[in-house]
Amino acid sequence: MRRQTLFVAAIVTFGAALYHASALLIPAFAARAYAPTYPPIRHVAFVLINLACALLLLRRPIWFVPLYALLVVQVLNGHGRVAWDAWRAAKPIYAVDVLVSIGVLAVLALLVVDALDARADAT
């Protein structure tokens, strides 16, 4: 079940790469989905990061776990902070911010368990 869930996570991560690519290539979409101050270079960065993560979620090398944990910190600092600030200000909370924050934490937990299982199998 864990491997199937990580496979689905890889597909969703690939979808996130497509989302950022769409925002980069379709100005009307970017205008509706992002603030005008969101720099295009961030879209480029997240297309590359999400594509790399999708591939690495399929392969799951043990060295990927700490790198993914760093990405989780970045995501929580972005999406998580936006959701938290909205909640504290009694403003609408965007579902994407909550789902992405919970999703990356869940995937990290699955990666840690998978790495521990792989280590136990190796001994």
For 59-107, how does the pLDDT look when each residue is reduced to its tens digit (9 = 90+)?
999 999 999 999 999 999 999 999 999 999 999 999 999 999 999 999 9
Residue 120 has pLDDT above 90, yes or no: no
Residue 122 has pLDDT above 80, yes or no: no
Question: What are the boundaries of each domain within the chain?
Answer: 1-59, 61-123
* Phi-psi sector, 60: left (phi>0), alpha (psi -120 to 50), beta: left
DSSP state of 38: S
pLDDT of residue 103: 96
pLDDT of residue 46: 96
pLDDT of residue 23: 95
CB neighbours of residue 74 within 10 Å: 13
Residue 123 has pLDDT above 80, yes or no: no
pLDDT of residue 26: 95
Average pLDDT over residues 52-60: 97
